[in-house]
Amino acid sequence: GTILVDNMLIKGTAGGPDPTIELSLKDNVDYWVILDPIKQTLYLNSTGRVLDRDPPLSIQSIVVQVQCVNRKVGTVINHEVRIVVRDRNDNSPQFQHESYYVAVNELTPVGTTIFTGFSGNNGAIDIDDGPNGQIEYVIQYNPNDKTSNRTFDIPLTLSGAVVLRERLNYEEKTRYFVIVQANDRAQNLNERRTSTTTLTVDVLDGDDLGPMFLPCVLVENTRDCRPLTYQAILPELTDPVHVNPISVTPPIQAIDQDRNIQPPSERPGILYSILVGTPEDYPQYFHMNLTTAELTLLKPINRDLHQKFDLVIKAEQDNGHPLPAFANLHIEILDENNQKPYFTRSTYEGFILESSPVGTTISDNRNLTSPLQLVVLDNDVEETKDPQLHLFLNDYTTFFTVTPSGITRYLTLLQPVDREVQQLYTFSMAASDGVQESVPVTVNIVVIDANDNSPTFSNISYNVKIYTDMRPGEGVIKLTALDADEGDNGLVVYEILAGSQGHFVIDAHTGLITVAPEVLLEVGRSYALTVRASDSAPPAQRRSSITTVYIEVLPPNNQSPPRFPQPMYSLEVSEAMRVGAVLLNLQAFDREGDPIKYLIQNGDPQQVFNLSQSSGLLALAKPLDRESTDRYILIVTASDGRPDGTSTATVNIVVTDVNDNAPVFDMFLPRNLSVQEEEANAFVGQVRATDADAGVNGQVHYSLANFNHLFRITSNGSIYTAAKLNRELRDHYELIVEATDGATDPRRSTLTLSIKVLDIDDNSPVFTNASYEVWVPENLPPGTIFLQLEAKDADLGAEVNYRIRTEEARHYFALDKHTGQLSLRKSLDYESFADTEATITFLVEAFDRKGTMPPGLATVTVRVQDMNDYSPVFSQKLYRGMVAPDAAKGTVITTVSAEDQDPPGTAASLVRYKVDVVQFPYSASIFDVEENSGRVVTRVNLNEEPSTVFKLVVIAYDDGDPVKFNTTTVEITVLQPSVIPRFTQDEYRPPPVSESAPKGTVVAVVTAAALNQTVVYSIVAGNEEDVFAIHNRTGVISVKKPLDYERVQSYELRVQADSLHVVRSNLRVPSKSNTAKVFIEVKDENDHAPVFTKKMYIGGVSEDARMFSSVLKVKADDRDTGNYSAMEYRLIIPPIKDGKEGFVIEAYTGLIKTAMLFKNMRRSYFKFQVIATDDYGKGLSSKAEVLVSVVNQLDMQVIVSNVPPTLVEQNKDQLIGILERYIQDQIPGATVVVESIGARRFGDGYSEEDYTKSDLMVYAIDPQTNRAIMRNELFK
């Protein structure tokens, strides 16, 4: 009942008795209008329904024809009535998606637009009209993400483009939930309607952090690592082959702190190097692998030169963005025992008096005036320092000892020695520094005799019977007294003290008592002679003994027994003496000449000797063995067969040694030994061998027949390790010990020892792989085992346990500490990862539960495999499009769009399109969809009937596993040709537009027309930067954004014209006629001032320069073109001399020249300005400073070159740059000026020239003093 038109104002009346006109409605679609012909009033017919301007009814206007029939003349006139339906704000904005997503790199600059997903039909849509349907976007405060509204902003509320306001930091926050509100723009604020959505912003890891050395110990309350120092120890003079790669504790390792840069191929690698170090020659000794940080030794290090190295190592990225990290590396050089101790002499001889008390020092001479000095040195130790060596004797250790310290050592007496027991002590002595042992030296200790023995008679008394018929001088008895002393102390002298009554005399030296001259012996007389034996020592030290000789005189007869020439015989016989050899003639004398029979009465039970009964020759009957019997005392008799006709003699036989015995090992000492690994100079055990031979033949020396590099043996048979043993390499050794005697042709014996190497905890567990990489499908249940880790510890009895070292990984995974099975702690969701490729990289460690060594490490990379969770979803269930009946092949009709919620960048999220050829096969034959863009296009050149409607089924599918898909329907209507606008021209070429044209300047006007259609214009291509705008109803193209000729000189726009009905249906109908090209040329304006290449130009002029000599050339550039970039130069310079300006400039080249002479003006300088004006002096200007210093030959330095002058001239600028870099190291900002370049001058007076070489005359100007640098300074 609402009145639409109060009165039609048509002349005539339709009511009453005589109506003149007849009114009726035509084309009253849906009967929205009621006509009252009498009142000529139109009413709204809304009974039972609502007039809704908005979709789906979309009644924006009502058009009816009021037909007026003139009843008098019969004419018919139609009056068109158009009723516009005005909008009311009865709809809220509706977002096309429940939520929105965008991923932004953390390095994105502030002010960058990071999301434009609300543009077009992807954002919120309000089906109301005008301001009621216009959408504004704002960001609301999110209480659950309190930083989101200050981090992001929508400055242009109508566009909905989200802009970054604050810098992102992936390491602090990886995801934001931004609440975006869409509201319409109803004029009454209270009537505005709103709706909200959530924009999820994932922060992608960017390359903003450099490497980090491990292990990282954080500084409290920071994310910074404490300074890290790696440690390494090297023995000096070690062959690199034996230590490379050098073991560093902990191992050198760095990781990139940006761990999730995507794609992984973009993640930088890490390069390692040694930055600096002390001492400075460290590069001669060490090299670090660029990619593995493996440290290697290049050559052995002498600790005398270097005791330690302190290096700074650097880890940096290999992508040109280094972001280096630094750590310290301390390398300690251990003293390598590479020098054996040594004695200054190979043989020592000392002397000791046998009566010396314990503690007496051995002397170096028989006079005992100075001690015997044993000097032993070690080249590993300075000569002035005590080498702290251990000296040991291989024998007689109970008799002698050596002082324990000092460079010079002394031998002292431990117990008294007796020369009569042993006159000479010979032994070897060696020195050890704990690792190496010196070459043994021989020490001979001579025991000097002391008169500590008295001459001793064999009997206390002697009984002798003599006969009266004995002649004077005939022997009665020979006495022998032995004195063990030597020399005069042992030289015995005999004398008869009493009882001889002058009848007997004794030989003082032989002890033979004879009948005195002219003495007649009387039968029955008896004598008791007291005989003294004295040594020949000085009277004060002389010793003696006394015996008594009883002599009885018998009457003469022929029964006297045979007599041996002497009562005692002594001889030495080698044990190697052959059997049958005659040893001694024991022939006796019988006064009566009776036959004599010889016998061995006693002392030869084994019948080793044979005494000839008739001749008295003593011979060897059996082989001798000194080791079983070294002395024989034979009692021999000589008998003439008569009673009392037997006499005796004693034969002392000493068996001397030959080397006929090999050393014999003591089998009671243990032969199964053990030693702990990793201990150098550790005691292993001891062997002992004896040799039954005497002297040097019985001296035993030890050596090792194998494993000399691992073990050593001392002279007393003690066995030590010579190097650290490694049980893991070998746990048992069969060591062969060899014992040799000291003979010239020595005898040998060997003994095999079984040595077991005992284990210590010296190995960390080692994983079978240094890194593991495994793919794990998402959505697996917790507890699923997906990887078996294994580490082995080479030590015995090790109990290897496992654990996850990286804290964050423990939220995802569990590692069985006993089995090493890695399992899921919770299900993995590929879509929850911000990375394009979801990965988790972490460290695991294996450790010996009972050990002390550091754990072994391995890297595990778990790559989560996307399992295609989502199907593509079209944004609309039904798409509509319109097409011209003669549309060309490839014409775009509409665009379908589907999104897949699987993670961006994965195969499962890649959406592609195709036509379902089964449904509507004819439609599929003439229409197609582009696989990647979703644009629906004509497959052929169309020739279809207007108003025909086609249906096309489009499939969206992904590339996941398995493939998932969805479908939508596209309804395509073929339009009437008359409703498709046609442009008046195919191409428009308006006049050029100035680059300084203000916003709104009209550039061109395009025109298109269609029958009974309102035409709407749009720019569809070429306006990507939104520089131009077109009025949608008038076709006027104007400037929207500032133009810049220097950036873009021309534009090619493609404009399209559509009917208003098509536009309101949110469709476009490209055809052959409704598009046109517009070519817009930009006209350059002088909008850029010149820019000099330098702020200050520095040059020099020689004192002897002529007028108008070239000084330097200035240059200014202008971004404009044509005359706007053509320069005119001029100088602003104060008068210098006599009103002269001093310098002039060529206006169009910028070459500055002299305008006066500068004689005797060295060390003067001039400062002035140069002005550059474009457009040949009529345009914009800029200025620069000029400094000119006056120089002469004293400031110039000649540089000689071995290349021709032409080549130097060609590379002049490069040469100046090189020279300036050198000079500016000392004088910042210094400028080098080349005064001249010419041929090499040589010869007398430099009169000759060589054009294959060149001389350069250069000088340099210091900008601080404005004067030339002195030549001697320049030379330096």
Quickly state the pLDDT bin for 813 (edges 50, 70, 90): very high
The answer to whether residues 362 and 372 touch, using CB atoms and an 8 Å cutoff, is yes
Distance, CA of 490 to CA of 726 (rounded, Å): 63
The answer to whether residues 216 and 227 touch, using CB atoms and an 8 Å cutoff, is no
Distance, CA of 1006 to CA of 995 (rounded, Å): 21
Quickly state the pLDDT bin for 142 (edges 50, 70, 90): very high
The CATH number of 94-204 is 2.60.40.60
Quickly state the pLDDT bin for 1062 (edges 50, 70, 90): low
Predicted pLDDT at 18: 86
Q: Which range among 201-210, 305-314, 841-850, 1132-1141 shows the weakest confidence by mean pLDDT?
A: 1132-1141
CATH class of 877-975: mainly beta
Predicted pLDDT at 1139: 59
Q: Is the pLDDT of residue 1138 over 80?
A: no
Q: pLDDT digits over 476-487, tens only?
A: 899 999 988 888
DSSP assignment of 396-418 equals: -TTTEEE-SSSSEE-EEESS---
Please state the φ and ψ torsions of residue 925, each to the nearest 5 degrees.
-85, -20
Quickly state the pLDDT bin for 931 (edges 50, 70, 90): very high
Q: Going by C-beta distance under 8 Å and a sequence separation of 6 or more, which residues neighbour residue 1246?
A: none
Average pLDDT (590-598) is 83
| Radius of gyration (C-alpha) of the chain in whole angstroms | 63
Predicted pLDDT at 970: 94
The answer to whether 94-204 and 995-1083 have equal CATH topology is yes
Please state the φ and ψ torsions of residue 588, each to the nearest 5 degrees.
-100, 170
The HSE-up count of residue 790 (CA atoms within 13 Å, CB side) is 2
Distance, CA of 529 to CA of 198 (rounded, Å): 145
Q: What angle is formed at CA 235 by the lines to CA 232 and CA 238, rounded to 5 degrees?
A: 115
* Sign for the pseudo-dihedral over CA of 824, 827, 832, 835: positive
The answer to whether residues 236 and 303 touch, using CB atoms and an 8 Å cutoff, is yes
Q: How far is CA 345 from CA 333, 375, 400, 426, 438, in A?
A: 32, 8, 19, 16, 12
CATH class of 342-448: mainly beta
Q: Is the pLDDT of residue 608 over 80?
A: yes
Predicted pLDDT at 261: 82
Question: Going by CATH, does the domain composed of 664-753 fall within 1.10.150.120?
Answer: no
Q: Strands across the sheet with 609-611, in order?
A: 582-585, 617-620, 609-611
Average pLDDT (255-273) is 85
Predicted pLDDT at 1269: 87
Q: Look at residues 1108, 1097, 1101, 1107 and name the one whose alpha carbon lies nearest to residue 1195.
A: 1101
Q: pLDDT digits over 417-474, tens only?
A: 988 888 899 999 999 877 778 889 999 999 998 888 899 998 899 999 888 878 888 8
Helix (H) or strand (E) holding 1175: helix 1174-1177
* The pTM of the whole model exceeds 0.85: no
Q: Is the pLDDT of residue 311 over 70?
A: yes
Q: Is the pLDDT of residue 508 over 90?
A: yes
Distance, CA of 855 to CA of 846 (rounded, Å): 5
Mean pLDDT of all residues in the chain? 88
Q: What angle is formed at CA 988 by the lines to CA 983 and CA 991, rounded to 5 degrees?
A: 145
Distance, CA of 226 to CA of 1196 (rounded, Å): 54
Q: Is the pLDDT of residue 63 over 60?
A: yes
Q: How far is CA 1072 from CA 581, 889, 926, 959, in A?
A: 145, 11, 17, 37
Predicted pLDDT at 1059: 78
DSSP-derived letter for residue 1061 is: H
Quickly state the pLDDT bin for 297 (edges 50, 70, 90): very high
- Sequence letter at residue 985: Q
Q: pLDDT digits over 346-366, tens only?
A: 899 999 998 899 999 999 999
Helix (H) or strand (E) holding 122: none
Q: Going by C-beta distance under 8 Å and a sequence separation of 6 or more, which residues neighbour residue 1078?
A: 987, 988, 989, 990, 1004, 1006, 1037, 1052, 1053, 1054, 1055
Predicted pLDDT at 843: 95
Question: Going by CATH, does the domain composed of 462-476+491-571 fall within 2.60.40.60?
Answer: yes
616 three-state secondary structure: coil
Residues of the chain with pLDDT > 70, as a percent, come to: 97
Task: Give the domain ranges of the chain.
Answer: 3-84, 94-204, 211-334, 342-448, 462-476+491-571, 664-753, 766-865, 877-975, 995-1083, 1194-1276
The structure tokens 């214009």 sit at: 1017
Which residue would you say has higher pLDDT here, 865 or 1150?
A: 1150
Predicted pLDDT at 557: 61
Domain 211-334, second-level architecture: Sandwich (2.60)
Contacts for 793-797: CB closer than 8 Å, 24+ residues apart: 793/763, 793/764, 793/765, 793/766, 793/846, 793/848, 793/851, 794/728, 794/763, 794/766, 795/728, 795/759, 795/760, 795/761, 795/762, 795/763, 795/848, 795/851, 796/727, 796/759, 797/759, 797/850
Q: Look at residues 135, 289, 252 and name the one whose alpha carbon lies nearest to residue 197.
A: 135
In DSSP terms, 198 is beta-bridged to: 99, 179
Q: pLDDT digits over 1165-1207, tens only?
A: 889 999 999 988 889 999 999 999 999 888 888 888 888 888 9
Q: pLDDT digits over 609-660, tens only?
A: 999 999 999 999 999 998 889 899 999 999 988 877 888 999 999 998 888 8
| CATH topology assigned to domain 3-84 | Immunoglobulin-like (2.60.40)
- What spatial distance separates the first Cα and last Cα of the chain, rounded to whole Å? 107
Q: Are strands 646-656 and 771-777 parallel, antiparallel or unpaired?
A: unpaired
Quickly state the pLDDT bin for 1236 (edges 50, 70, 90): confident
Predicted pLDDT at 1137: 62
Quickly state the pLDDT bin for 322 (edges 50, 70, 90): confident
Q: How far is CA 679 from CA 676, 729, 803, in A?
A: 7, 15, 32
Domain 766-865, second-level architecture: Sandwich (2.60)
Residues of the chain with pLDDT > 90, as a percent, come to: 48
Q: Look at residues 1211, 1258, 1205, 1266 and name the one whose alpha carbon lies nearest to residue 1233.
A: 1258
Q: pLDDT digits over 842-884, tens only?
A: 999 999 988 888 899 999 999 988 788 889 999 999 998 888 8
DSSP-derived letter for residue 1264 is: T
Q: Look at residues 841, 955, 964, 823 and name the one whose alpha carbon lies nearest to residue 906.
A: 964
Quickly state the pLDDT bin for 336 (edges 50, 70, 90): low
Average pLDDT (709-738) is 92
The CATH number of 995-1083 is 2.60.40.60
678: left (phi over 0), alpha (psi -120 to 50) or beta: left
Average pLDDT (525-541) is 93
Predicted pLDDT at 863: 92
Quickly state the pLDDT bin for 820 (edges 50, 70, 90): very high
Quickly state the pLDDT bin for 1011 (edges 50, 70, 90): low
Q: Look at residues 879, 866, 898 and name the one whose alpha carbon lies nearest to residue 965.
A: 898
- Sequence letter at residue 520: L
Predicted pLDDT at 947: 78
